[in-house]
């Protein structure tokens, strides 16, 4: 029996606690001064106060967390995602204290955390990469030279980037010159690293990622792919498994999954992780980045493979046998879709914090809702606006779509704006229903605009009916 500290909050802390409890270990949850009634504590066997009123003072404060680890005799920590999940320096500090980190080794995090280094590792492993700079670009002149060689449009991208920050497309030399310093400033502000890459900008791409799991004996498995092409500002909104764009092309599915394993093997990967690719319209794919942690969208992979990723992550870290012995033990069954439920305006897609006055849900069979919500809860700007993950599974994609539409209709969150109406619009839109959509979907189809027009029409009707005072 191990005492495992969860250095995270919200729905992912609940998910981690459930896995810890299932395996018979002791789950330890943290609460902070700006979230004293944290919902995840209900699932934890021990509660510990992490003093501080913002993320810098709490979940990002390595020294405070290390003090708690020592004070409470913690054996292992699980970082969830975000915060310290991909911080190799923190992992090294844990190793010195002989505390187990439930995630990959520090070297793998370091190699994959820098986009310039990870691209070099991919090329070394024989993994196709997007044409562009091999390492950091030192000047706007060098960026222009590379752009001339590979052709416009190009993408300026922070080497330490993530979450859609530090990225900007340039369609001409003038745009490249105009944006170069601006992207460097954004990268420095967001990641304390202003290094940039210049890459060919793939038009109408599909964002396809492969879930991998490695153990301490050098075995690496894939758990097939997910499609994450519905995005706003390079941040995902809806994910599917398996990819509808790959569809029944089993040769392509095998190729991209085995390519992900090649990269994971190159860096001696030993936990759950995700290798992300960009796939163009002719189905050629290129390495994008590797996320060395559990992903927000991991539930859809669990639903279509039957593999509990969190449980097996913990087993790997504790050097215990995982739930399968060979790749053929893992197979796809059915289709799953995840909608990220966020406290944000469904039209502008900007955060909209507030207090939840009520919540209820009446779901059809086959629905999973990972959340941390309760009536009276204050959703603050301190944390990410994602407040839950709604997951539907069906025998095939059309059944899954039908279930998700019904689930969205049955989910009621009152008191603050949320993006449920946007999800409802997308799930019924013909291009999304067809399964052939790219990362340009939100930009080109603009489901949010039709939603805004409907809202304007409703207001006009209410005015005419005398239900709204001018």
What count of other Cβ atoms lies within 10 Å of the Cβ of residue 330? Answer: 17
Cα–Cα distance for residue pair 114/108, rounded to 1 Å: 11
Helices 173-191 + 140-150 axis angle, to 10: 120
Task: Determine whether 311 is exposed, middle or buried from the number of CB atoms within 10 Å of its CB (0-12, 13-18, 19+).
Answer: middle
Picking from 253, 222, 224, the residue whose alpha carbon sits closest to that of residue 241 is 224
Query: What are the structure tokens assigned to 427, written together?
Result: 């799930």
Residue 142, preceding peptide bond in cis (omega within 30° of 0): no
**CA–CA distance, 162 with 118 (Å, rounded to integer):** 14
| Marked catalytic residue, from 15, 293, 340, 397 | 293
293 carries an active-site annotation? yes
- 10 Å CB burial of residue 354 (0-12, 13-18, 19+) is middle
Give the sheet arrangement for strand 3-6, strand by strand.
46-49, 26-31, 3-6, 76-78, 100-101
Q: Is-contact 218 230, C-beta < 8 A?
A: no
The helix-helix angle for 10-22 and 309-317 (nearest 10°) equals: 60
Residue pair 404/338 in contact (Cβ under 8 Å)? The answer is no
What is the C-alpha separation between 64 and 77, in angstroms, rounded? 14
Beta strand pairing call for 358-361 and 411-414 = antiparallel
Q: State how far the alpha carbon of 31 is from the alpha carbons of 73, 101, 249, 254, 330, in Å.
A: 18, 20, 47, 43, 37
Active site residues: 293
């Amino acid at each position: 029996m191990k005492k495992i500290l969860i250095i995270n909050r919200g729905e992912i802390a609940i998910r981690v606690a459930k896995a810890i409890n299932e395996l018979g270990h002791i789950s330890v949850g943290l609460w902070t001064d700006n979230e004293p009634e944290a919902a995840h504590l209900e699932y934890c066997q021990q509660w510990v106060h992490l003093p501080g009123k913002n993320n810098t003072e709490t979940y990002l404060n390595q020294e405070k967390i290390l003090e708690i680890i020592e004070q409470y005799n913690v054996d292992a920590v699980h970082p969830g995602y975000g915060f310290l999940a991909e911080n190799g320096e923190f992992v090294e500090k844990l190793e010195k204290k002989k505390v187990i980190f439930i995630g990959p080794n520090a070297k793998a995090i370091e190699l994959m955390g820098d986009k310039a280094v990870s691209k070099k590792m991919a090329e070394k492993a024989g993994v196709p990469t997007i044409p562009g700079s091999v390492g950091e670009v030192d000047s706007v002149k060098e960026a222009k030279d590379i752009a001339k060689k590979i052709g416009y449009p190009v993408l300026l991208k922070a080497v330490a980037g993530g979450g859609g920050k530090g990225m900007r497309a340039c369609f001409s030399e003038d745009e490249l010159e105009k944006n170069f310093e601006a992207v460097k400033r954004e990268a420095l502000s967001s990641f304390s690293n202003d290094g940039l890459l210049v890459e060919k900008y793939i038009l109408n791409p599909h964002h396809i990622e492969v879930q991998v799991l490695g153990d301490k004996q050098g075995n690496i498995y894939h758990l097939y792919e997910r499609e994450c092409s519905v995005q706003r500002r390079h941040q995902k909104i809806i994910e599917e498994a398996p990819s509808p764009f790959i569809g029944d092309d089993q040769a392509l599915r095998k190729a991209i999954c085995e390519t992900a394993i090649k990269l994971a093997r190159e860096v001696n990967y030993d936990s759950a992780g995700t290798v992300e690719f960009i796939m163009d319209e002719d189905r050629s794919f290129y390495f994008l980045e590797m996320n060395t942690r559990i992903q927000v969208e991991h539930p859809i992979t669990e639903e279509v493979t039957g593999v509990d990723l969190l449980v097996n992550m913990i087993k790997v870290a504790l050097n215990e046998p995982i739930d399968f012995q060979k790749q053929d033990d893992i197979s796809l069954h059915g289709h799953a879709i995840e909608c990220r439920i966020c406290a944000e305006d469904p039209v502008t897609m900007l955060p909209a914090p507030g207090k939840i006055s009520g919540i209820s849900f009446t779901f059809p069979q086959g629905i999973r809702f990972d959340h941390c919500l309760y009536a009276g809860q204050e959703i603050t700007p301190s944390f990410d606006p994602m407040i839950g993950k709604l997951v539907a599974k069906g025998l095939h994609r059309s059944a899954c779509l039908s279930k998700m539409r019904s689930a969205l209709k049955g989910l009621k969150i009152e008191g603050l704006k949320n993006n449920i109406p946007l999800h409802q619009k997308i799930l019924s839109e013909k291009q999304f229903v067809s399964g052939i959509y790219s990362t340009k979907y939100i930009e080109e189809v603009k489901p949010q605009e039709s939603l805004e027009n409907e809202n304007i029409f409703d207001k006009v009707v209410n005015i005419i009916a005398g239900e709204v005072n001018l």
